[in-house]
């Protein structure tokens, strides 16, 4: 029956599962992208919106179905609501590349998607009903007995469109265009819906597992933030700084932890350890002192299912330093990814580092992106 699903655990080629008989069996490392500053011009590119979700490869052979994450882990148990519609709509034997997303009223909700990864089966079932996920497909690795990874992307894409021509939610095929002008329009308008850029693909390119064979263009902005803490570089406490904890003030004067800035050179990490020593405090007057984790403020040392096993200890700094950082976009009240250091701002009053400075993008109707479906 279509609703019956075998939860298949990838084991790097030793499984007896029927999925190992596919022309492209799991596990497969997804093809990756390298970042570029702008949308490529001229002919010879195909463009797609860049979805902000969980990269997912889907393998199906009969009633066997595997949702594989970017790091080769099975995700079936976290998204049980996708089993029946995928078994109903996908070809009998195939492997598809795409993205798991959750669409809310205002756009894609990555934090809601993160919450779906939970160890308790009862909570997984509840979340599957209350916050169902969708799969957005964009590439086809195999179909029937055909290995398509060496075929040009334009052929893989055309076949994917034919196979999923009547796809219904929660299964979608991502939009595609050969027009740089259309891609620029998507880049501007789709961001408010939670999409975080544009992908550029070579129509003649093969599928190259694990290789950065695509291009991605992401939004880049700057913000002035308060430096309110630091974390030590792994294995070098008191010697090298790993990251700086960033804060912004809300309208009520509360300092919120919004993320971190990192990616310093080894020499810079050592220099920061000395430069920041005079700002270290025991926390008596620190705005994050005695955080309980309650309310809307974010606690920099809080443990989540995503940080289990990581050292999240941090050293409070007097909130007197301001740093300008670059970032791609916000997810709610936090930076979606690690920010990049631009420069120190000794001319800036920390109290001026507020959420008001951030550019706010209006949500674009997500159903328009999904298409008629």
- Give whole-number Cα distances, 144 to 23, 85, 275, in Å: 8, 19, 61
Is the bond preceding 27 in cis, omega lying within 30 degrees of 0?
yes
**Catalytic hit among 50, 73, 310, 348:** 50
Cβ atoms < 10 Å from Cβ of 198: 26
CB neighbour list of residue 88: distance below 8 Å, 6 or more residues apart: 2
Specify which residues 55 forms β-bridges with: 99
For residue 242, CA distances in Å to 193, 225, 238, 289, 308 come to 32, 17, 10, 21, 18
Dig out the tokens for 159 from the structure: 């076949």
Give the helix ranges, DSSP H, for the chain: 83-89, 110-115, 121-130, 153-163, 180-189, 266-275, 366-370
**How many Cβ atoms sit within 10 Å of the Cβ of residue 12?**
8
Question: Is 218 part of the annotated catalytic residue set?
Answer: no
Q: Which residues are catalytic?
A: 50
């Amino acid at each position: 029956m279509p609703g019956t699903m075998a939860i298949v655990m990838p084991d790097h080629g030793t499984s007896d599962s029927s999925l190992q008989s596919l022309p492209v069996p799991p596990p497969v490392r997804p093809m990756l992208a390298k970042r570029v500053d702008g949308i490529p011009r001229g002919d010879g590119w195909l463009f797609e919106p860049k979805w902000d979700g969980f990269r997912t490869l889907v393998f199906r052979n009969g009633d066997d179905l595997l949702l594989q994450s970017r790091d080769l882990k099975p995700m079936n148990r976290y998204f049980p609501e996708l089993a029946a519609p995928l078994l109903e709509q996908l070809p009998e034997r195939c492997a598809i590349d795409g993205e798991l997303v959750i669409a809310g009223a205002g756009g894609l909700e990555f934090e809601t998607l993160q919450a779906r990864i939970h160890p308790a089966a009862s909570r997984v079932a509840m979340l599957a009903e209350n916050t169902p996920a969708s799969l957005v497909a964009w590439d086809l690795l195999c179909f029937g007995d055909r290995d398509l990874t060496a075929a040009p992307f334009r052929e893989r894409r055309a076949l994917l469109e034919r196979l999923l021509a009547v796809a219904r939610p929660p299964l979608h095929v991502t939009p595609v265009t050969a027009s740089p002008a259309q891609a620029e329009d998507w880049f501007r308008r789709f961001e408010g819906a939670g999409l975080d850029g544009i992908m550029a693909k070579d129509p003649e390119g093969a599928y190259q597992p694990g290789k950065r064979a695509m291009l991605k263009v992401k939004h880049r902005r700057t913000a002035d933030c308060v430096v309110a803490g630091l974390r030590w570089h792994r294995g070098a406490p008191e010697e090298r700084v790993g990251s700086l904890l960033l804060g912004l003030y809300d309208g009520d004067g509360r300092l919120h932890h919004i993320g971190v800035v990192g990616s310093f050179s080894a020499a810079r990490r050592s220099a920061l350890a000395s430069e920041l020593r005079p700002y270290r405090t025991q926390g008596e007057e620190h705005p994050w002192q005695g955080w309980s984790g309650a309310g809307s403020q974010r606690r920099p040392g809080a443990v989540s299912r995503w940080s289990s096993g990581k050292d999240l200890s941090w050293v409070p700094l007097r909130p007197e330093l301001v740093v300008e950082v670059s970032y791609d976009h916000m997810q709610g009240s936090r930076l979606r990814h690690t920010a990049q250091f631009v420069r120190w701002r000794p001319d800036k009053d920390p109290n001026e580092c507020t959420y008001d400075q951030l550019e706010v993008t209006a949500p674009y109707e997500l159903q328009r992106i999904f298409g008629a479906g």
